A and B are shown apart, each in its own frame.
Chain A
Amino acid sequence: MLELEGICFSAEDESREVEILNDIDLVLDDRFIAVTGPNGSGKSTLAKIIAGILQPTSGRILLDGEDITGLSVTERAKKGISYAFQQPVRFKGITVRELLSIAAGKDATMADICGILSEVGLCARDYIDREVNASLSGGELKRIEIAMIIARGTKMSIFDEPEAGIDLWSFQSLIRVFEKMHEEIKGSILIISHQERILNIADRIILLSDGRIRKEGTKEEIMPELLGYGQPCRTLTDKL
C-alpha cells in the first residue's frame, strides 16, 4: 500500500515559484488506479515524486507504512516501486536482453525474455540482441519499457501514458498485460492515462487538475464527468 500525505511540489519558472502539486492526499491500495486530467495537471510530476525522481516540497510518502520520502530512486526501486517512463530512454550499445536482465535483477535466459517480450507482442528472437537505440521505433521502445516493468514484478508499478505511441498493438493486449501482472504479483498498478478504454478497467480513478485532486472515485462516479470535459471538437469528429 502506498500513501501520499499532503504532497506539495513547486518549481521555479522564470524566477517565479509555480505550484505544480498542491496538498495531495492519496491511499493507493487498489488493483488498478488510473490518474487522469488535462495536460499540465501534474500527473507525471506525481509519478516522478512516487518514484523518487523528484522530491516533494513538503509532505510524506509511505510504502506499507514505512516513510520512504527521504529514500533515493535506487532505494525505492529496491523496495518495490517500478516506473515506466512516458518517453522511453534510448541507450547506445545496451541490448534488450541486458536491460531486461537489469530489470529482473538476474541474468535473464532466452526463455525468460521470450515469456516477457511475447506479452508485449514482440518476438524475442528478433529483439533479444537489438540495441535499445534509435534503430527502434517509438512503439517498440514503449513496449520494451513496459516489458521492463513486467520483468521487475514489483508490488507497485506506475505506467505513465503507456498507450502513447503503441503501434500495431491493441489496447486489449495492453490491458491484458495489466491484468496478468496483477494476477501474478497481487500488487497495485497506477496508470496515468487519457484513454477511456484504460480508465474503464480502473477500480478507482483520480482526476487531477491544476495540481489538485478534483475528484476521486469509481469509474461509474468519475466517467460521466470526464466525458463531459474535453469533448472533442465536432467538426473534427464528423470528419473522422
Chain B
Amino acid sequence: MYLAELWRLLFLGPRVTEAKERFVNPKDASLEAVGEELKTVVRRLYGGRSLRIRAVDGGSANGEEIELTALNNAYYDIDRFGLSFVASPRHADMLFVSGPVTRNLERAVKTTYEAAPQPCMVVAVGDGACTGGIWKDSYAVVGPVESVIPVHVRIPGDPPTPTAILQGVLHALSQSRV
C-alpha cells in the first residue's frame, strides 16, 4: 500500500524544478565581470560543463550553508547544470568558500585549496566571504577569502539566495566559455 502510494507520487507527482532560464540568462541581476584567469580555467575544463564542488566553511554563521544545501533540492536542482557537490577536495574543480575566514579556520581554507587539484576555481559565497561583512575588522577574523586564497567569483548577499548563487556561478561559467 505504502509502495503504491510512493510510486504514484514518483510517477505522477509534479515536477517542481524551476525553469532553467531563471538562472542562465538573468535579466534583473547585476553580475560582476569575469576575470581572465577564470576564463582559462573554465576553457581548460571543457567549458565547465561538468564541475564538482567542494563547500568549505571558512567561519560563516551557517546562513550560507543552508542556502548551499538548498541548491541540492528539487527546486534548484544544481545537478542539471552539471554541477555537483563532492565529499573531498581531491575530487573538486571548484570551491565554495563561505564566511569571513576566521583565525581558527584559516588553515582549513588554505589546506583545502592546496589539497584540490589545480586549476581550481574559488567562489566566495556571501558578504562575509567577499568583504568580511559585519565581522570585517574583528580580532578573530583574518579577512575576506581573498586574503587567504585567490578568489575567482564573488557572490554577495548575507546570505545570498540559492538563485543568486546559481546565477553568479552560471554567469561566470557561461561568460568564460566563449
Co-assembled chains A and B:
no
B residues sitting closer than 8 Å to A (CB atoms) are none
